[in-house]
A and B are shown apart, each in its own frame.
Chain A
């Protein structure tokens, strides 16, 4: 994509999608020069239109939008422009919302209480193609994959690898859930930072592709209890 090649080197080009104008202007002001905010939208349809036009590196996307939720934006755009990365942002922490945007294709999820530094860092990381897990998302994933899938829970045609986390992935997630940075995790587990990244990306892939019905059911149950 010719327009989207302002990187590497320069700050990532970002479109903000959130239905609260105050929040958008706040984020824009706080991020300052660390990222280049090239557009703002407050609803699904205008957001899709704008993203198609501007082709940003990263879309910072609120999970809750009036016209169908953040995952609708991702589904609309993802097919034509798989290179655009989405980072979901939410105040809700409701598991089923989080799981929905991740499964739609978001590269990460952070809560709105995140510090500006961490947010800028997360945007940059997502722009580089890495996955970003907040400590809460890590907790969700551990919870969702906690039990071994029962045979009738998984469609047999799928790769069974996708339905289980490896021991190492689980360790990484546990440390993320405890608030460790990737660097600290690498040091703690005696692995390289790149390896931590690849574990997280692999977990993200499993989260998106796993055929476990349990994931959805788990999210729904969590809402009720």
Chain B
């Protein structure tokens, strides 16, 4: 921190606005003379220490904090600060950042700086970034571009300060900073509109390059430019040679640190999941130990959930079916939960949901629920296959079955509703059953023609022979 802390003399020389901070929130007797001096013209003397305002902020909330402290209009303070930044050749900016570091947020006692002091990695990173910018400015200055140099040097401190703030600010402030740089992020390709951003980036780079070359050539007159340029390149190489390994090490440390954080987050995530699901289920299992059926059901539901989380990356409770296969899995979950009968599913292929496939799913659900309610089978098997030209489902149980000719009215009704649902959407349903032999419901829905290069037609014959 010492590298960006100016002494008071320097500070007075460059600052034209009201003093932005006093360091301690402590007793008023300790405050420097200039604070007493300024009290004469403040019109809200409630004695509150200066605090950054987290609610009304553009960057650090300093302008709003100052305004509240002195009873000004925040907009006026912001304009004053902006003008100050211009006429001080950018030197007001690092002071703003310094204030951001040193002044605590309203309602807090500690500043970001007090945290940053202990962040050795952050300090190293701040130094590295600042030195990178300094090297760049040195080269730019050597190439005689005075404007960059004039406004740039102050920003060496800004960069260092912002780095420390970024690494040590509380989460809500970081979120605010992220919002500020979001427009930039989309330019670097990590945002969503990457294509357009890339084009924009190229155009920007081309314009800068053209202007830069133009300036260089006009200043030095053609080929003579190359002579000093060679010298500066050597200096640059020397600096890179000198500082490069250090920069690299800091960058690498940063990457390692980020990986460690990602790992820690992952571990926390797994722990949370284990607690929500597995531990809860184990507790339930212990409590219901005398009811084997319930225990089996619990274990099964938990197993399936864990499996889908581990191997399909689906979080527990994430239900909304977006595809056919997911819809079948949902039927499995629902029927098992509601009727307590295990459902074995095998799905082959997948397709997005349209109204026909949704109708097929609804019919599948009815057939499965039906089997769970009536068959008395220990397990129901659902086989679902998506092919290029059709989607088919077979719901099968080894339960008591029935004679299709003499079915009781209610079951016939269900069978009819399955059949009706399917035929309305151009599909068909067959029900095979015999007393003591279980029941098999076969549902087939043709797929609406859509171009699919990997289609095959060989299996239509197969279904014909089976029926």
Contact = CB atoms under 8 A, between A and B. Distances in A.
Interface string A172-199: 0010011100000000110000000000
Interface string B306-323: 010011110000000000
Pick from A94, A135, A179, A188 the residue with the most CB of B within 10 Å.
A179
B10 interface: no
B312 A150 contact: no
B311 A136 contact: no
Nearest to B392: A174
Given A167-B462, A171-B466, A146 B348 contact: yes
Contact of A94 (B311, B453, B456, B458): B311
B346 A139 contact: yes
Contacts of A113: 303
Interface of A: 92-94, 113, 135-136, 138-139, 142-143, 146-148, 150, 167-168, 170-171, 174, 177-179, 188-189, 223-225
Q: How large is the interface on B (under 10, 10 to 19, 20 to 34, 35 or more residues)?
A: 20 to 34
Contacts of B310: 92
B166 interface: no
A223 B303 CA distance: 18
A44 to B, nearest CB: 22
Contacts of B190: none
B360 interface: no
A177 B349 contact: no
Contacts of B456: 146-148
Nearest to B299: A113
Nearest to B387: A146
A170 B462 CA distance: 8
Given A113-B303, A171-B465, A179-B381, 19 more contacts: A135-B383, A136-B346, A143-B348, A146-B349, A147-B454, A148-B454, A150-B454, A167-B458, A170-B458, A170-B459, A170-B462, A171-B466, A174-B383, A174-B394, A177-B348, A178-B346, A178-B396, A178-B440, A189-B466
In order of increasing CB-CB distance, the 4 nearest A-B pairs are A147-B454, A139-B346, A179-B381, A177-B346
B381 A142 contact: no
Contacts of A224: 313
A93 B346 contact: no
B344 interface: yes
A139 B381 contact: no
Contacts of B461: 167
A223 B381 contact: no
Contacts of B387: 146
Nearest to A169: B462
B370 interface: no
Contacts of A167: 458-459, 461-462
Contacts of B458: 167, 170
Contacts of B313: 224
A93 B344 contact: no
B311 A178 contact: no
B466 A178 contact: no
B428 interface: no
B346 A138 contact: yes
Pick from B346, B379, B455, B462 the residue with the most CB of A within 10 Å.
B346
A91 to B, nearest CB: 8
Interface of B: 303, 307, 310-313, 344, 346-349, 379, 381, 383, 385, 387-388, 394, 396, 440, 453-456, 458-459, 461-462, 465-466
Given A92-B311, A148-B456, A178 B381 contact: yes
Contacts of A94: 311
B394 to A, nearest CB: 5
A87 to B, nearest CB: 20
B40 to A, nearest CB: 69
A193 B387 CA distance: 28
A225 B459 contact: no
A138 B348 CA distance: 9
A178 B459 contact: no
Contacts of A93: 307, 311
Contacts of A139: 346-348, 383
B466 A179 contact: no
8 contacts: A93-B311, A147-B456, A167-B461, A171-B465, A174-B383, A174-B394, A178-B396, A223-B311
Contacts of A146: 348-349, 387, 454, 456
Contacts of A177: 346, 348, 383
B351 to A, nearest CB: 12
Contacts of A171: 462, 465-466
A217 to B, nearest CB: 13
B433 to A, nearest CB: 14
A170 to B, nearest CB: 6
B113 to A, nearest CB: 45
A148 B455 CA distance: 7
Nearest to A147: B454
Contacts of A147: 388, 454-456
Contacts of A170: 458-459, 462
B312 A225 contact: yes
Contact of A142 (B385, B388, B453): B385
Given A148-B454, A150-B454, A223-B311, A135 B462 contact: no
Contacts of A223: 311
